[in-house]
Amino acid sequence: MMFDGLLLGDGCVYLRRLLLLFCWPLVLLLFCVTSCLLWLIRHFSSCVFAPLFVSPLFIHSSASTMASAARTASRAFLRSTPATSSFRPAARSARFTLPSQAFRSSRRGYSTEAPEQGKSSNGLLWAGLAAAGGAGAYFYLKGGDASAKNFVPQQKDYQAVYDEVARKLADETDYDDGSYGPVILRLAWHASGTYDKETGTGGSNGATMRFAPESDHGANAGLKVARDFLEPIKAKFPWITHSDLWTLAGVAAIQELGGPAIPWRPGRQDKDVAACTPDGRLPDGSKSHGHIRDVFYRMGFNDQEIVALIGAHALGRAHADRSGFDGPWDFSPTVFTNEFFRLLVEESWNKKKWNGPEQFTDKSTQTLMMLPTDIALVKDKEFKKHVERYAKDNDVFFKEFSDAFVKLLELGVPFASKAEDRFVLKASE
Ligand code: HEM
């Protein structure tokens, strides 16, 4: 034990008691001064030097309770610091290199010489400093941890996340038709579309698709691509939950690909594997109108909202190795438009002759496709009404899609904020 080594080299119990008696006021004083100094450093410097200063002292402090508390705080601090933060390596190297040197030299002095009276008080001073430093470090790091916990992200912080998603979408064009946007939108929809209004289970609050079995559900095939795309952004902004990130990224995908503004608000919490939803809650493209209604009514949508939402098939494509279906719905799969509805109404759609699940292809070019559930939207009278409205008027589609999509992303989320607190994240220029 360091204190013992420093103070009790001669094993004199009486002297130890005496020294301990006089040492506490000094320790207390040093503790206060050091804490103040650390507080000042923390608030007036950019937090780079403080850990270098305090870590050596508390890591090797032999006041075991304090040291372990300090280490806990330190670990929590390191955990709460982004892996990419330039601060993290500094904190780490300070923890593991500087302390040993500082401590080694002081210990060497005492291992070769018998402690004298004067040196003992010198030791006392060191011990006091170590204790005070350790305590200071504890409060410094506790403070850092507390402030990370108390960090309340503002709209500008979510905008920074949005900008990062938008930048990554713009940079990484070597995928599918040139954008990860469609598959990210599909991730946001599948994370939300598991909601069951009767039981209040499922929905975007939880991001349980991170776990098997939900990640392995047939309907979610291919969505690992989208989850992996967003992981570096989650690492860069560790304060955002996966649930908020996935929905925000869905909003970014729509807006960045030319779709309507989607008001959004944060407040979702991630849940663990126990909250995974059972397989079968998402729609099956090979079915018809009855199945579509079953699935979407379970979430609380009406016919008009159902049709508006499926208009998202203007984006992206089906992949034979994911769903079994194959091909894009229109000629501009990376631009959000009402083309899906226009083509549904204006094109002739025939069953595709191929060795795959039933799907439809356009008579004109035989390069586009529709799912049986898409065709159901023009076979069913109630649905068709809305298909025709949207085919005619892009603005009406944009408005009604936006409203329905906001609702989809918020199903089952116990927000503390009000609907009026939603904000529109600014799309990139
Ligand atoms: C009856 C309802 C729906 C059915 C049966 C359905 C089915 C499908 C299927 C089978 C795929 C192809 C997946 C693949 O092979 O990669 C797909 C893709 C897609 N779906 Fe849906 N979907 C429905 C509703 C929706 C809704 C409500 C949205 C969004 C609001 C949406 C957005 C998308 C997008 C953006 C893609 C393209 C993904 C990509 O390019 O990777 N879908 N959908």
- Measured in Å, residue 186 CA sits from the centre of ligand 1 at 6
Phi-psi region of 327 (alpha: psi -120 to 50; beta: other; left: phi over 0): left
Same domain, 269 and 162: yes
Instruction: Choose among 125, 126, 137: nearest CA to 35.
Output: 137
CA 234 to chain centre: 4
Same domain, 232 and 318: no
List all residues 6 or more positions away from 155 whose beta carbon is below 8 Å from its beta carbon.
423
Same domain, 259 and 331: no
Same domain, 357 and 295: yes
The residue contributing the CA closest to ligand 1 atom 25 is 310
pLDDT of residue 314: 98
- Between 60 and 164, the higher pLDDT residue: 164
Same domain, 298 and 264: no
- Whether 293 maps to a domain, the answer reads yes
Domain boundary among 275, 308, 326: 275
- Residue-number span of the structural domain to which 266 is assigned: 155-275
User: Which of 126, 189, 264, 329 does the annotation list as catalytic?
Assistant: 329
CB 84 within 8 A of CB 155: no
Same domain, 220 and 166: yes
Atom of ligand 1 lying closest to residue 292 CA? 1
Looking up residue 174, the CATH number of its domain turns out to be 1.10.520.10
Number of neighbours of residue 196 by Cβ within 10 angstroms? 17
Atom of ligand 1 lying closest to residue 185 CA? 35
pLDDT of residue 114: 35
Dist CA 350 CA 247 (whole Å) = 35
The per-residue pLDDT of the chain, averaged, comes to 79
The residue contributing the CA closest to ligand 1 atom 11 is 318
pLDDT-derived band at 86, boundaries 50, 70, 90: very low
On the CB side of 283, how many CA atoms lie within 13 Å of its CA?
27
Same domain, 239 and 214: yes
- Whether 180 maps to a domain, the answer reads yes
Number of domains the chain contains: 2
pLDDT of residue 16: 59
Same domain, 297 and 192: no
- Whether 16 maps to a domain, the answer reads no
pLDDT of residue 264: 98
Tell the burial category of 43 from Cβ atoms under 10 Å away from its Cβ (0-12, 13-18, 19+). Answer: exposed
- Run of H or E including 297: helix 289-299
Note the pLDDT tens digit of each residue in 376-401.
999 999 999 999 999 999 999 999 99
Lowest model confidence (mean pLDDT) among 102-111, 117-126, 308-317, 416-425: 102-111
User: Which of 190, 217, 289, 386 does the annotation list as catalytic?
Assistant: 190
Same domain, 258 and 299: no
Number of neighbours of residue 213 by Cβ within 10 angstroms? 13
- Run of H or E including 350: strand 349-351
- For the cut 80, the answer to whether the pLDDT of residue 344 exceeds it is yes
Looking up residue 365, the CATH number of its domain turns out to be 1.10.420.10
Instruction: Choose among 245, 249, 261: nearest CA to 153.
Output: 245
- For the cut 70, the answer to whether the pLDDT of residue 74 exceeds it is no
- Between 295 and 37, the higher pLDDT residue: 295
- For the cut 90, the answer to whether the pLDDT of residue 80 exceeds it is no
pLDDT-derived band at 18, boundaries 50, 70, 90: low
DSSP string, 4-53: HHHH-TT--HHHHHHHHHHHHHHHHHHHHHHHHHHHHHHHHS-SSSHHHH
Structure tokens at 345: 């109404």
- Measured in Å, residue 73 CA sits from the centre of ligand 1 at 45
Helix H segments across 172-288? 181-192, 224-236, 242-256
Dist CA 361 CA 419 (whole Å) = 41
Pocket of ligand 1 (CB under 6 A): 182-183, 185-186, 189, 222, 283, 285, 292, 309-310, 312-313, 315-319, 322-323, 325, 371, 373
Note the pLDDT tens digit of each residue in 187-197.
999 999 999 99
DSSP assignment, residue 3?
H
The residue contributing the CA closest to ligand 1 atom 42 is 310
What is the rounded average pLDDT of the residues 312-324? 98
pLDDT of residue 84: 31
Backbone angles phi, psi at 140, to 5 degrees: -60, -50
Domain boundary among 250, 275, 300: 275
- For the cut 50, the answer to whether the pLDDT of residue 54 exceeds it is no
Dist CA 188 CA 166 (whole Å) = 15
- Whether 329 maps to a domain, the answer reads yes
Lowest model confidence (mean pLDDT) among 55-59, 223-227, 307-311, 339-343: 55-59
Note the pLDDT tens digit of each residue in 262-275.
999 999 999 999 99
Same domain, 271 and 246: yes
CA 116 to chain centre: 58
The residue contributing the CA closest to ligand 1 atom 37 is 316
Query: Given the structure tokens 């379970």, which residue do they identify?
Result: 298
- Whether 169 maps to a domain, the answer reads yes
Same domain, 261 and 293: no
Gyration radius from the chain CA atoms: 31
What is the rounded average pLDDT of the residues 194-205? 98
pLDDT of residue 63: 37
- Whether 413 maps to a domain, the answer reads no
Lowest model confidence (mean pLDDT) among 17-21, 207-211, 312-316: 17-21
Note the pLDDT tens digit of each residue in 37-53.
766 655 544 333 333 33
pLDDT of residue 263: 98
- Whether 137 maps to a domain, the answer reads no
Same domain, 229 and 331: no
- For the cut 70, the answer to whether the pLDDT of residue 179 exceeds it is yes
Atom of ligand 1 lying closest to residue 323 CA? 15
> 213 preceded by cis ω (within 30°)?
yes
Q: What is the pTM of this model?
A: 0.71
- Measured in Å, residue 12 CA sits from the centre of ligand 1 at 80
- Whether 174 maps to a domain, the answer reads yes
- Any catalytic annotation for residue 190? yes
- For the cut 60, the answer to whether the pLDDT of residue 78 exceeds it is no
- Any catalytic annotation for residue 329? yes
Tell me how many degrees the CA angle 43-48-53 measures, rounded to the nearest 5. Answer: 90
Tell the burial category of 59 from Cβ atoms under 10 Å away from its Cβ (0-12, 13-18, 19+). Answer: buried
Atom of ligand 1 lying closest to residue 317 CA? 40
Note the pLDDT tens digit of each residue in 99-128.
333 333 333 333 333 333 444 445 555 555
